[in-house]
Amino acid sequence: MKTTLIDSPVANVANIARALRVAGAELDVTRDPETIANAKKLVLPGVGSFIAAMRWLTENNIDTAIRAAVNDGASLLGICVGHQLLFDSSSEMGTTRGLGLIRGEVRQFDSVLPVPQIGWNRVATSGPLFEDVENSVFYFVNSYAAMNTPDEIARADYGGPFTAAVQRERVFGVQFHPEKSSAAGLRVLRNYIAWT
């Protein structure tokens, strides 16, 4: 099955494409809403600003296309800010609505540790996305995170617990960068590609 990588300009698409290919994906990189709406396996990348990333989705009708695909039974993996976009909202600059595919809100770290978090962090994991991950330490770059969410499948701690990954039925999200997390990250991508 083809994996469709959403070609967002607010994302590190090239790095993620490379990692997905190494993980075994047959890749379609696109920003065409119709192709996205008809996709069976989607990846939504994102870095930087939640607002900018969400604005691009809505202005180009990609948000509607993603919802249509998911309603149609497609699976979806959000990465970093792509993961954050899955939630109801983010508190970045007031409140900005997200895709609403996962319950919860993304908030700025209220941590005694320096923000942004930049670096590796140990993650407590569960579920099919993390099957056969030998050493669940992943690479994070984030100032915002969802915390204590009902669909959490992985949790890490940065001066307080936060949601490192979520799954609700066919929708997955990972706050870390699998494309920068060496073998553990590639394993997660491989698991997503193989998941049905």
Q: Residue 62: which of 71, 50, 53 has the closest Cα? A: 53
Q: Is 26 assigned a catalytic role?
A: no
**Cis peptide leading into residue 116 (ω within 30°):** yes
Specify whether 83 is catalytic.
no
Q: Does 108 bind another protein (CB under 8 A)?
A: no
- Does 179 participate in catalysis according to the annotation? yes
Site string for another protein, 16-35 (x = CB under 8 A): --xx--x-------------
Rule CB under 8 A: choose which of 32, 139, 147, 195 binds another protein. 139
**151 DSSP 8-state letter:** T
Helix crossing, 182-194 with 13-22: angle to 10°? Answer: 70
DSSP 45-56: ---S-HHHHHHH
H and E: helices and strands count for the chain: 6, 14
**141 is a site residue for another protein (CB under 8 A):** yes
Choose one: 27-35, 51-59, 66-74, 178-186; the region binding another protein (CB under 8 A): 178-186
Segment interacting with another protein (CB under 8 A) among 25-33, 69-77, 90-98, 151-159: 151-159
Q: Minimal CA–CA distance to 19: which of 11, 30, 27?
A: 27
Please name the residue that has the structure tokens 């009708």: 61
Interface pick for another protein out of 9, 24, 100, 114 (rule CB under 8 A) = 114
Residue of 83, 92, 152, 177 marked catalytic? 177
Using CB under 8 A as the criterion, which residues of the chain lie in contact with another protein when the complex forms? 14-15, 18-19, 22, 48, 111-114, 116, 118-122, 135, 137, 139, 141, 156-160, 179-183, 185-186
